[in-house]
Amino acid sequence: MESCVARGLSVSKNLKMKNSPLVLLRGKSTAAKPNSAPKVQATPPPTTAQASITWPEYLAIRRNKRRVQTALTIPTTLLGLALGGLYFGNLDTDPTKLIMGIDPFFFYGFCTLGCAGAGALAGPTIGASIWRFKNRNILSVLDKKDHDFFQRIAKNRVDATLQSPTHPVPDYYGEKIGSLHQYRQWLRDQAKYKRKALLPEE
């Protein structure tokens, strides 16, 4: 009889513990949560300086650069002429005293023209500097493309020993190339010149 009562008490205790909210809460608290997958950071898009440009785009950029250099040559030439004229025009001259065996008026005139020539030579350099400053974000790409382009030019142009003073190689450095059409025309001109130089007509 006592054993039956003990069994009943133990069963009732087990039922109370199973139905106890404390047990349910503990079961929930100890449940392990699955680890979340690590977040993959998206790689940033390539910057303008890292992106590559096509040959038509590169040649268009070259054409634009050449236009800037040419446009800036005109004002620098006029500026050099004006400065030379102001300086040499205000110098005291004695017509009876020659300068290096030349009449002073002619000598100062040549010096003024020399100032204009110096301005013309400085124009492309200043224009290239301004252009590079405005396009400084793509200079690394352009410098690499320039290297590849000049390698192609050096490979396909006519040997300089074949030219003559009266018949120079057309566009030896490829400066006038501003498009794929002009590049193909340059290749044809080089091949034509080479044929004429190596196989002269009798």
Per-residue pLDDT for 9 more than 90? no
How far is it, in rounded angstroms, from Cα 93 to Cα 15? 128
Q: Write down the H helix ranges in 2-54.
A: 2-19, 21-29
* Residue pLDDT, tens place only, 80-137: 999 999 998 888 777 778 778 888 888 888 999 999 999 999 999 999 999 889 888 8
What are the CB-based long-range contacts (under 8 Å, 24+) for 132-135? 135/61
How far is it, in rounded angstroms, from Cα 113 to Cα 92? 19
The one-letter amino acid code at 82 reads A
Count of Cβ atoms closer than 10 Å to residue 40 Cβ = 6
pTM of the model: 0.61
SS3 76: helix
